Amino acid sequence: MDKPLTKNIDMSRPPLEIAQYQAAGGYESIRKIAAGLAPADVLQQVKDSGLKGRGGAGFPTGLKWSFVPMGDNAPREKYLVVNADEMEPGTFKDRLLMEGDPHLLIEGMIIAAYTIQASKAYIFLRGEYIRAEHALKKAIAEARAEGLLGSNILNTGYSLEIVLHTSAGRYICGEETALLNALEGKRANPRAKPPFPQVSGLWGKPTIVNNVETLCNLPGIISHGVTWYQGLGKGVDHGTKLFGVSGRVRSPGCWELPFGTTIREVIEEHAGGMQDGYQLKAFLPGGGSTDFLLPEHLDLALDYDVIGKAGSRLATGTMILLDDRTCPVGMVGNLMRFFSHESCGFCTPCRDGLPWIEQIFVDLEEGRGSEKDIGILEDHLGYLGPGRTFCALAPGAMAPLGSALRHFRQEFEDHLSSKGCPYTRH
């Protein structure tokens, strides 16, 4: 990759100021748009690039944008909203981008907002991301001073304001309509769909909600072209992706790599392999709400469909590793406690089911578990499965639980026979 997404990021120093960013090629895409690219032209390039959303769902970005009403009869007020809340367990890629290269996000936001003709954009930022908040505030001010934000950007007649909103932070805000409710000052409950946000979103106006990493791909696509972008990938999907690893590896971290890179390469070469004395038992390939995969899957390519066919999801692309000295029941119980705490409480299966599951794991750990408990956990896989709850929080929580019951049934049984956790954890 001669022009990687993360080329300007060096976490040992402050992010580039706008003059340095522009000297490195920053905002070239905006000047290219100002030279004569219409919104429809930009939309077509994004469609042709094959860019997919990096927030977890992997939905084609250009297709999502195409649902926004355009033309003379479309609503005049439209919004772009950046989901920068990043609450998925094990996920830290967006923080890296915002802290290390905030102007890249600002540039991507201008492209996206121009394409849908939004006049205002919001960054919905996780409240704990203090360093990212400071970096973004400075970048927004610098871009406005350079005429890249505000009225009549680069004499194009197009105007855009960006508002940085630090959120109270809830996992449910990963669901875009819950995020919009929170941004409006309401309780962060998901909305019924349809209507979808592209038609009726923030304050009832057409709205696009995109993930930080998704938008950070846009400057390269517009500046260097669709063919360049498609050539970055090694597999079915186009471009690059930020892949992360946490767990008992020698060098946990986050790396920009082409789609199609194998899981083995990420873990063994970039993360340095397992620490001495530890063996890989299983891993969640895309954060806490994905199904466990096993060592036999290490040679799979990191592409959305490939991971999907293996029985899990690529999602955020940030792997959580389970080693052979960590109890899988304890690990999943920890995730269930998180999901239970983060439920918005709007629908009965999630509101009542997740605390029930959490308590069963507490009982298993503390020696109060019974044979029927495992059956109750299995029943909840259906009660909280897809189509049974108002949003995807509960089905996401069932992914690690269901796959743990398939792969680690013996460990659950051992908790019953041993009257508690029989495994030593380090």
- Would you say residue 5 lies in a domain? no
* Residues 313 and 212 grouped into a single domain: no
Residue 58 domain-assigned? yes
Question: What b/e string do you get for 191-230 counting C-beta neighbours within 10 Å, with b at 16 or more?
Answer: beeeebbbbbbbeebbbbbbbbbbbbbbbbbbbbebeebb
pLDDT at residue number 2? 61
Q: What is the pLDDT of residues 66-81, one digit of tens each?
A: 999 998 888 889 999 9
34 and 175 part of one domain: yes
Is residue 9 situated within a structural domain?
no
Domain boundary among 206, 230, 254: 230
Point out the domain boundary residue: 203, 230, 257.
230
CATH number at residue 413: 1.20.1440.230
pLDDT in tens, 337-392: 999 999 999 999 999 999 999 999 999 999 999 999 999 999 999 999 999 999 99
CB 321 within 8 A of CB 247: yes
Structural domain contains residue 423: no
Give the three-class secondary structure for 395. Answer: helix
Q: Are residues 215 and 256 in the same domain?
A: no
Check whether residue 349 and residue 246 sit in a common domain: no
Co-location of 299 and 338 in the same domain:
no
* Percentage of the chain exceeding pLDDT 70: 99
Rounded to a whole number of angstroms, the CA Rg of the chain reads 22
CA dist 189 to 1, 98, 374, 395, Å?
41, 26, 30, 16
Output the pLDDT for position 305: 95
Are residue 71 and residue 131 in the same domain, yes or no? yes
Rounded mean pLDDT, 13-33: 96
Sign, CA torsion 64/70/73/75: positive
Q: What is the mean pLDDT of residues 173-188?
A: 94
* pLDDT of 181 higher than 50: yes
**Which residue type sits at 43?**
L
Q: How confident is the model at residue 426 (pLDDT cuts 50, 70, 90)?
A: very low
The confidence score (pLDDT) of residue 271 equals 98
The whole-number pLDDT of residue 3 equals 72
Position 391 in a domain: yes
Question: Tokens at residue 279, please?
Answer: 């063996």
User: In this predicted model, what pLDDT tens digit does every residue of 307-327 receive, in sequence order?
Assistant: 999 999 999 999 999 999 999
pLDDT at 425: 52
Answer yes or no: do 313 and 343 share one domain.
Answer: no
140 — pLDDT class (breaks 50, 70, 90): very high
Q: Are residues 219 and 354 in the same domain?
A: no
> What is residue 80's predicted lDDT score, i.e. its pLDDT?
98
Tokens in use for 288? 């806490």
Task: Write down which residue in 323, 354, 383 finishes a domain.
Answer: 323
Residue 104 is predicted with a pLDDT of 98
CA distance 408 to 399: 14
Q: What angle do CA 92, 101, 136 make, to 5 degrees?
A: 90
Residue 392 sits in the same domain as residue 278: no
Q: Residue 398 corresponds to which amino acid?
A: M
Question: DSSP string of 4-67?
Answer: -TTTT--TTSPPPPHHHHHHTTTTHHHHHHHTT--HHHHHHHHHHHT-B-TTTT--BHHHHHHT
256 & 313 share domain: yes
How far apart (Å, rounded) are the C-alpha atoms in residues 351 and 341? 9
Compare 425 and 46 and report the one with higher pLDDT: 46
Task: Check which CATH number belongs to the domain holding 24 and give it.
Answer: 3.40.50.11540
Query: How many domains would you assign to the chain?
Result: 3
2 in any annotated domain: no
Regarding whether 124 and 81 lie in a shared domain, the answer is yes
- Per-residue model confidence as pLDDT tens digits over 197-255: 999 999 999 999 999 999 999 999 999 999 999 999 898 899 999 999 999 999 999 99
Residues 298-308, mean pLDDT to the nearest whole number: 96
Query: What's this model's pTM, rounded to 2 decimal places?
Result: 0.94
What does DSSP say about strands 240-246 and 253-258: parallel, antiparallel, or unpaired?
antiparallel
What domain range is 176 assigned to?
A: 18-230
In a domain, 424, yes or no: no
Which CATH number goes with the domain that contains 303?
A: 3.10.20.600
Residue 11 lies in a domain: no
pLDDT at 211: 96
The confidence score (pLDDT) of residue 38 equals 96
Q: Is residue 21 a contact partner of residue 8, using CB atoms and an 8 Å limit? A: yes
Instruction: Mark whether 122 and 215 lie in a shared domain.
Output: yes
